Amino acid sequence: METQMIINNFILNELAKGRKKTINNDEDLLAEGIIDSLGILQLVAFIEEKFNFTVPDEDVVIENFMSVNALSSYLDQKLAAKH
């Protein structure tokens, strides 16, 4: 749950910049125009810094970045495997 909140806040405050007040955790971020390819790169940089985790190039796919829930699930799985 905390991972979802961190991701959601970053997207709202840094990527959506006032275009949206809230984001549903299941909302399709790409289809709704909330993020684009540059936004994905910004998310990757944020994740790597915030969670001290390197996102492998092969993991930068739409399925992992489609929604807050998808990204949170991906991160939780990768971080659990790291420990």
Note the pLDDT tens digit of each residue in 21-62: 899 999 999 999 999 999 999 999 999 999 999 999 999 999
Residue 67 CB-density burial (10 A; 0-12 exposed, 13-18 middle, 19+ buried): buried
Q: What is the pTM of this model?
A: 0.91
Task: Check pLDDT > 80 for residue 83.
Answer: no
Domains with residue ranges and CATH for the chain: 2-82 (1.10.1200.10)
User: What does the block give as tokens for 74?
Assistant: 């991906």
In the structure, what pLDDT confidence band is assigned to residue 4 with cuts at 50, 70 and 90? Answer: very high
